[in-house]
C-alpha cells in the first residue's frame, strides 16, 4: 500500500498494523514546525487517523490491521487566530 504525505511518499504491506504506518508518517512529518511545536508541549503529535471512515482511537492503533483497498486518512492539527 502506497501513501503520500505532502510531497513525501512511502509504502506498507497489506496486512501491516496501522501503528507501522503511523510511525512512518510521524517520521516523515518530524520536520513539520506545527508537529514539532505540539510534540514539544505535549509529547505527542496529535495526528488523527481515519480508516474507512472511522476514527481510530489511540489505544486501537496497534490493534488495527490494514488491508488492501483501505482508505486511510490523516488529519494534521493546526491552529490559527
Q: What is the pLDDT along the chain (81 residues), one digit of tens a residue?
A: 777 766 777 788 889 999 999 998 888 888 888 888 888 999 988 899 999 999 999 999 999 999 988 888 888 877 665
Domain 2-75, classified CATH 2.40.50.100, yes or no: no
> Any long-range contacts for 47-54 (C-beta under 8 Å, 24+ apart)?
47/22, 47/74, 47/75, 47/76, 47/77, 48/74, 48/75, 48/77, 49/18, 49/21, 49/22, 49/73, 49/74, 49/75, 50/74, 50/75, 51/18
Kindly report the pTM of this predicted structure.
Answer: 0.81
Amino acid at each position: 500500500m502506497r501513501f503520500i504525505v505532502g510531497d513525501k511518499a512511502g509504502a506498507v504491506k497489506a496486512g501491516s498494523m496501522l501503528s507501522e504506518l503511523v510511525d512512518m508518517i510521524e517520521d516523515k512529518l518530524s520536520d513539520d514546525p506545527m508537529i514539532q511545536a505540539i510534540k514539544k508541549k505535549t509529547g505527542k503529535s496529535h495526528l488523527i487517523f481515519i480508516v474507512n471512515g472511522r476514527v481510530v482511537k489511540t489505544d486501537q492503533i496497534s490493534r488495527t490491521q490494514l488491508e488492501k483497498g483501505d482508505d486511510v486518512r490523516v488529519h494534521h492539527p493546526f491552529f490559527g487566530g
